Each structure stands twice: as structure tokens, then as C-alpha cells.
Amino acid sequence: MIEFSHVTKDFRGTRALDDVSFTVAPGSVTGFLGPNGAGKSTALRVLTGLSRPASGSATVLGRPYADLGCPALLVGTLLDAGALHPGRTGREVLTLGAMTLGLPRSRVDEVLDLVGLTRTESRRTAGGYSLGMRQRLGIGHALLGRPRVLVLDEPANGLDPQGIRWMRELLGDLAASGCAVLLSSHLLHEVEQVADRIVMIGRGRVLADGTLDELGRGRSLEQTFLDLTADADRSAA
């Protein structure tokens, strides 16, 4: 379970998040959809304890992220695939993560298989990986602890069509096993292919929250999204 409750966040006099409230239930994939600069990444930073809100709260499994003890055993996060150490091999990245979490090294091979990185690829340094390979490695790192909650920021970036299909299937399987998945993206088409619910955000405010059918109401989801973001832009002007 993820819950945002009336979260507000300001940066240098600019309101980045404005009374943001929504939940992500166990066993579901919630798409967090909005254009670049809408507030998605700020919300995820608040959720994972990297930034403090001015007011309101964001909790995971009923508690603030920082109060979870060993968060990575409960919450898997991928906020920036480019943050991987470029001089370490993919296997080293996962092995260090497993050691930190007290997991057996056999979990590294399980995760490599899960994300589709070969043994040869795992021996290459992350600095030589394509963006798609870094995404796979980052998702693998997030899954090391078999988390109950998964938070992903733009995980489809750099993935080829086969990789995107793999990611859809993976997220569907995780949700079916009871995991609560929050998928942040500006790519409407990719979100609607996998999400059970969608939260649309613009100018730091939640514009809509519901299932695909609820948000469409006879129109395409794209048109609903364009209309809502245009309304938000006009209100801010």
C-alpha cells in the first residue's frame, strides 16, 4: 500500500506539489502520468524520504519510508537508472546489493535471469551498458529483496519493443502476486497497456484518479489527458 495524503512541496517559492492525495493498493499497477515538470519525480522523492514535504504525508505500508527499518526488503525503487556506478559490473552491482540486504548470492543469478541479462552481459561494466540494459539492471536491483511495493520512474526509457513487452509482463506478474506497483511515466500509451488505475498530475496537482474506463468515459484516454493538462495550464496562467 502506498498513500499520499494532502502532500504539498515548495521549491524556492514555486509550488511543486499542491495537495496531492492518492493511494496504490496491493495487487495493482497504478500509472502516475503527467508531462515533464508535472511533479511526478518530486512526489516519488517525497515518498522515498529523499525530500520533505511542506505539509501532508506519504507512507508505504502504513509508515514513512525512513521508518521501515530496512526499506529495500519491502520497497523496490528505480528512480534513476543512470545512477549506477559505471565502473562496476552488473553482477557486482547486484552482489553488493544482495550483501547489503543479507541475501544469499544465489539471488543475484535469479534476478539476472528475471530481468534478462546474460552471464556475459553481467560481467561487463555498467558504464558500457545501453540505457535499456541499465534499466533492466536497475529494475533487477529494485527486485533483489522480493519487495511488497515497487516504485519505478520512467522504466520504459531506452527499452526496445521486446524489452517493453517484457516489462509489461513482469509488472503484471508482480501485481498478480500481491505487489503494489507505482509506475511513473509521461508515456501515456505505455502506461495504459499495463495499469489498473491511472493518476494524472499536472502543475503539481492531481487532475484525475481512476480506472481506464472511468477516465475515458467515451473518449480516448489521450484526449482526456490533453484536456486536463490544458485546463491546468490555463488555470496556472
At 173-203, the pLDDT tens digits run: 999 999 999 999 888 888 888 999 999 999 9
104 vs 212: which has the higher pLDDT: 104
Residues 84-106 as b or e (16 or more Cβ within 10 Å = b): beeeebbbbbbbebbeeeebeee
- State how far the Cα of 156 lies from the Cα of 13, in Å rounded to an integer: 32
- Say which CATH number the domain at 170 has: 3.40.50.300
d(CA 28, CA 25): 6
Residue 196 lies in a domain: no
21 in a structural domain: no
Number of domains composing the chain: 1
Amino acid at 61: L
Counting residues of the chain whose pLDDT is more than 90, the rounded percentage is: 73
Is a pLDDT exceeding 70 seen at residue 218?
no
- In-domain check, residue 193: no
Query: Does residue 162 fall inside a structural domain?
Result: yes
Inside any domain, residue 98: yes
| Residue 146 located in a structural domain | yes
The mean pLDDT of the chain is: 91
Is 191 a member of any domain? no
pTM above 0.75, yes or no: yes
Instruction: Give all strands (DSSP E) within 53-154, no chain letters.
Output: 55-60, 75-78, 149-153
pLDDT (tens digit per residue) in 42-87: 999 999 999 999 999 999 999 999 999 899 999 999 998 778 889 9
- Residue 53 structural domain: 2-12+49-186
pLDDT digits (tens, 9 = 90+) for 144-159: 999 999 999 998 888 8
Cα distance between residue 37 and residue 187, in whole Å: 14
Confidence band, pLDDT 50/70/90 cuts, at residue 217: low
Find the mean pLDDT for residues 102-122: 96
Percent of the chain at pLDDT exceeding 70: 95
| Residue 181, in any domain of the structure | yes
Residues listed for the chain:
237
